[in-house]
Structure 1
Amino acid sequence: MSLLLRGGTAIDTDPVRVRAADVLVEDGRIAAVAPGLPVPAGAEVVDASGMLVLPGFVDAHRHTWQAGIRAAGPDVTLAGYLDLVLGTLAPRYRPDDVYAGTLAGALECLDAGITTVVDWSHIQHTPDHTAAAIDALHAAGIRAVFGYCVSEPDVATARAALARTGGLVTMAMAPFGPDFVGEEAALREWRLARELDLAVTVHLGVGDATSGDRGLDFLERHGLLRPRTNYVHGNGYGDAALGRIADSGGTVSVSPVVEAGMGFGAPITARALAAGIPTGLGADTVVSGPGDMFSLLRSAYALGRLDPTAGHGLTTTDLLRAATVDGARAAGLAGVGSLRPGDHADLVLLRTDGLGVAPAHDPVGAIVLSMDTRAVDTVVVAGRIVKRDGRLVGVDAATVQARLAMSAARVTAAA
């Protein structure tokens, strides 16, 4: 199949480049980006006039299953979150609840222009829960990295989960340790990742600098401080720790709203970028934060510019890259997040004619500082249009929301 996005303003991200250009998609990949491209025989033409055409956003850290408990803890601290969500609500989740939440959360992403999500799925009470989460990602049609997180991982169940992925859904290990479980349990998680050749996405450095350094020391002692590791949050990391991550080939994911709201500390966006670490953005949890990339971009920009050591160098261009190509690197995905010919055709078309957006003198600045989800006109994943003219394609939203509401009512009853 061929798709020609004609007459828009193309914004590439690697490097950032803004120009009037058409974008041609063939067989799920970007084939060409240039002005005045001819229409291939049989191609669908989308009028992108007056719109920005750019790579779809990448949410580099999200607990997607939590869509049904949105805003259940708007002012919660980390301790309160652990008690409410993991201690009280999560044990009530059945596989059907996991499916309902993950499907709704993934569709929420697509609706907001997020074409790739790292789904850190710590709701896998049984293999049926795991299957429900993966099946929901497939059903949504989003590109996803499924973060496999179980309290007692073993090779057989992990292989079964891995076999269920494929196509747009890949798998990474999402270990609890070493920050939230003991070293022996953490070693089992990380060794399983190595045995199955999985990338790792892990909450580390959430506390003070001492705890952050202790986690990195643990990894280094066991030969686990290596590439294909994404460090989520890292608010306690000093410059030396960030240097160790950079030298190891690791990446960082920042969740600016949740980190600030739960009291993790100042987001490290500016310092991580200054250290040369590919840094992505994530919503983390909609229990106490927004689920759209525009909110994350503005928060990361405002909080990052306050950083007294590195913030003045943080730009809107840096943040756009964090939401796209650097987010893809944090997710461990190649060929995602840019308009380079040959890359996956995951794209978003953003309107610039809305009140509060027009006139968009600086398109990158308009995306980071002015837009919200109302600007998302068209979304493409792997060359397939999944949102057109502001509406998701082939989605019975009423049924999805009704299923989510039933699940939410049950799991939150008398919480």
Structure 2
Amino acid sequence: MTFGSERPRPEPGRAARTLVRGGIVVSGDPAVGDLRRGDVLIEDGRIAAVAPELPVAGAEVVDAAGKIVLPGFVDSHRHTWQTAFRGLGADWTFGQYGAVMQGALRPHYRPEDVYLGNLLGRIEALGSGVTTMLDWFNCALTPEHADAAVQGLREAPGRSLFGYCAEGPGDSAGSGDSAGSGIAAELARMREQLPGDGLVLALRGPLRSTMDETVADVAVARELGLRVSVHVHGGTGWPTGDRVIERMREHGLLDARTTIVHGNGISDDQLAMLAEAGCSVSVSPDVELKMGFGWPETGRLLAAGIRPSLSIDDCPSASGDMFSTLRTGFAVQRGLDRSLTARDFFGFATVEGARACGLEDRVGSLTVGKDADLVLLDAEDPSVFPVGAIVTAGHPGLVDSVFIAGRAVKRNGELLGVDLPALRARVLESRDRIAAAAGVAIDGSGAPAG
């Protein structure tokens, strides 16, 4: 497992050179383009060459005939700790999500529950081709909960960033409550565990804490060299957030290290402020539509000069794979104004996600010198132009192979070194205990009106 920009050390006995040969290459790099038949050479975990044909001498060969070879997906915002309750929130409004997931269930999470959710959730994402993921962790009830969440990510063989959020035990979505100031010591402690790009501040405010607290929290993040990710939207159950972006700009909180999550309902002039500051925006189309945040702002963001990234968001309400997110976001925007193409959305799920995580020089495209984080998809007809198929018809069942920094973590449709049945059993036991303690029916019945 690797955090952020860390590279895994070469394993004893693993070939220093690997040639992924004869696939349909969708590089995501305009300088490389797409290859109907191409090879990708990996040396010491990095992409060494991409070309129609490369010499095989001295390399372990991975036969990619009949496969689409693409950069791994990047999920820029996922509440992974909630994985055990996948599907529970299919019918939830945002108010119901706050009342059930955050208000009723979260207080009963133990550190081991967080660990199991993060471990299974990260493995689930990896198996569907998400090679890089930002875990937006807002269940830090104690320092032990945060440590357990990190441990779950460490044990999953993917590239992860940990978004630490200091929401207190009494917080619930839309409450407007805050855990108070004073996150510096805990954030510094987490920083010691996660050097480099491995730690992100998942900001409580300004919608869930005061502006003064928000300013103080960002100052701590800047001192520690951290990126900042923050929810801003006008969905039901939140403070309106009117002119939040403008107020953040007035306090010097917007720059290229800032990612706005959602952004629904932000006015045109405030979108321009984000673009001018170099901020990124993470769009979660499935959750935004289902929970009443408003239309995903993908097209408006692009018009403002912001190329967004994509994210899954909360696990009870959405699927865990990027294909579903791509399909929803693409279909909605095409229905609204036909302003974006399948290739645009493919870029949102890869290189723009990498940029939102501060890793654009490391992952997100099949570019010489970047880490070899790549995915092989089964392609029934190798002559089909693949980008449209990936966006409109892709699904996790097509993911044949996944490589992280050149190391195979999934081959021939099977995750390597993972006992999924045993892990699932432990997660289900955890889920049932939490639900029973909270008095929540796991079939979704009895949810509060919202």
Tell me, yes or no, if structure 1 residue 406 matches structure 2 residue 429. yes
Match of 1:205 in 2: 233
Q: Which of 395, 408, 420 lines up with 1:385 in the alignment? A: 408
The aligned amino acid for 1:333 is L
Shift of 1:206: 3.5
Gaps of 5+ in 2: 1-15, 168-178, 441-450
Task: Kindly provide the amino acid, as one letter, of the partner of residue 379 in structure 2.
Answer: T
Give the alignment partner of residue 237 of structure 1, picking from 266, 281, 296: 266
Residues 212, 234 of structure 1: 8 Å contact kept:
no
What is the aligned partner in structure 2 of residue 258 from structure 1? 287
Q: Which moved more, 1:21-30 or 1:147-156?
A: 147-156
Q: 1:17 Cα deviation (Å)?
A: 2.1
Match of 1:287 in 2: 316
Per the TM alignment, residue 61 of structure 1 is displaced from its structure 2 partner at its CA by 1.0
2:378 paired with 1:351: yes
Secondary structure at the counterpart of residue 367 of structure 2: coil
Counterpart amino acid of residue 91 in structure 1: P
CA distance in 2, matches of 1:40, 1:212: 59
- Which residue of the partner structure matches residue 314 of structure 1? 340
Selected match of 1:50 from 63, 66, 74: 66
Distance 2:317 2:76 in 1: 17
Among 145, 153, 160, the residue aligned to 2:161: 145
Query: Equivalent residue of 1:36, what SS?
Result: coil
Does structure 2 conserve the Cα–Cα contact (< 8 Å) formed by 1:205 and 1:213? no
- Provide the residue aligned with 1:278 in structure 2: 307
Distance 1:258 1:327 in 2: 18
Q: Any residues of structure 2 matched to 1:157-172 within 5 Å, and which?
A: 157-166=186-195, 170-172=198-200
Amino acid at match of 1:316: A
d(CA) in 1 for partners of 2:38 and 2:296? 36
1:177-213 CA-to-partner distances (Å, cap 9, x unmatched) read 00122223222322211121210111013349x9455
Say if 2:66 and 2:382, in contact at 8 Å, map to a contact too: no
Q: CA deviation at 1:289?
A: 1.1
Relative to structure 1, is the Cα distance of residues 212 and 21 closer, same or farther in structure 2, using a 3 angstrom cutoff? farther
Q: State the SS of the aligned residue for 2:314.
A: coil
Residue aligned with 2:92, SS: coil
Alignment-mate amino acid for residue 266 of structure 2 = Y
The aligned counterpart of 1:77 is 93
Corresponding residue SS for 1:230: strand
Contact preservation (8 Å) 2:246, 2:273: no
Tell me if 1:60 matches 2:89: no
Amino acid at match of 1:174: A
SS in structure 1 opposite 2:347?
A: helix
CA–CA separation in structure 2 for the residues paired with 1:23 and 1:372: 23
**2 CA distance for matches of 1:224 and 1:166?**
23
Cα shift readout 1:275-306 (whole Å, capped 9, x = no counterpart): 22131111101211111111111100011123
- Give the Cα separation in 1 of the matches to 2:244 and 2:161: 24
1:154 Cα offset (Å): 2.2
Name the counterpart of 1:120: 136
**Within 2, Cα distance between the matches of 1:278 and 1:382?**
26
2:224 is the counterpart of 1:196: yes
1:12 match: 27
| Aligned mates of 2:29, 2:267 — CA distance in 1 | 28
Give the letter for the 2:209 counterpart: V
Q: Distance in 2 between matches of 1:244 and 1:306?
A: 27
Letter in 1 for 2:87: A
Residue by residue, what CA displacement relative to the aligned partner does 1:387-413 show, whole Å, maximum 9, x if unpaired?
000000011111211111111111111
In structure 2, C-alpha distance between the alignment counterparts of 1:73 and 1:337, rounded to whole Å: 31
Match of 1:34 in 2: 51
Kindly report structure 1 stretches of 4+ aligned residues shifted beyond 3 Å.
Answer: 210-213
8 A contact 2:79–2:136 mirrored in 1: yes
Note the alpha carbon deviations across 1:300-349, whole angstroms, 9 max, x for none. 00111233xxx322100000001100111122213210011001111000
User: SS state of the match for residue 313, structure 1?
Assistant: coil
The one-letter code matched in structure 2 to 1:165 is L
Q: Is the 8 A contact 1:260 1:266 kept in 2?
A: yes
Tell me the amino acid that sits aligned with residue 347 of structure 1: L
2:351 alignment partner, one of 325, 328, 332:
325
Q: Structure 1: where are the runs of 5+ without partners?
A: none
Per mean C-alpha deviation after superposition, the further-off stretch among 119-128 and 328-337 is 328-337
Which residue of 15, 20, 40 maps to 1:23?
40
- What SS class does the counterpart of residue 6 from structure 1 fall into? strand
Cα root mean square deviation, aligned: 1.8
Between 275-284 and 386-395, report the one with greater CA deviation: 275-284
Structure 2 Cα separation of the partners of residues 201 and 23 of structure 1: 34
Question: Given that residues 243 and 270 in structure 2 are in contact (C-alpha distance below 8 angstroms), is that contact kept between their aligned partners in structure 1?
Answer: no
What is the TM-score of this pair, normalised by structure 2?
A: 0.87
Q: Is the 8 A contact 2:20 2:39 kept in 1?
A: yes
Report if the CA contact (8 A) 1:103-1:137 is conserved. Answer: yes
Aligned to 1:297: 326
Give percent identity, aligned residues only. 47
Distance in 2, matches of 1:323 and 1:262, equals: 22
Q: Which residue of 1 aligns with 2:176?
A: none
Partner residue in 2 for 1:2: 17
Asked if residue 337 in structure 1 is aligned to residue 364 in structure 2, the reply is yes
The one-letter amino acid paired with 1:27 is: D
- Matched letter for residue 340 of structure 2: L
State the 1:360 CA deviation: 5.9
Q: Is 1:62–1:285's contact at 8 Å kept on the other side of the alignment?
A: yes
Whole-angstrom CA distance in 2 between matches of 1:74 and 1:182? 32
Structure 1 counterpart of 2:417, which letter?
G
